[in-house]
Amino acid sequence: MYARVVRFTDVDPERIAAIQERIRENEGPPEGVISTGFQLLVDESQGTAVFIGHFDSEENMRKSAEVLERMDPEQTPGTRASVDTCEVKMEMTA
């Protein structure tokens, strides 16, 4: 499994609400994003967010990144501060 981790600053709660609604309406990621799931973590007190997209292969992560990089900044939680592309070496849930 692979993960694309994007950190955002200048996060606005209204933009988070709009993103949540858009994802619910579309029932998933944007067209061309080949994801197995995602997490959106928000720290409203600091105005930051972390988006973690999950992918079943490095190739799907790379192809999806091309789509995600072209997204209109108004459709993101805030200002993109960093992007990490990772292989998930371990995952554990309770």
Higher pLDDT, 58 or 74: 58
The encoded tokens of residue 90 equal: 């371990």
pTM recorded for the entire structure: 0.88
Distance CA 90, CA 80 (A): 26
Residue range 7-45, pLDDT digits in tens: 999 999 999 999 889 888 887 788 899 999 999 999 999
What 3 state SS string does the chain have? Answer: CEEEEEEEECCCHHHHHHHHHHHHHHCCCCCCCCCCEEEEEEECCCCEEEEEEEECCHHHHHHHHHHHHCCCHHHCCCEEEEEEEEECCCCCCC
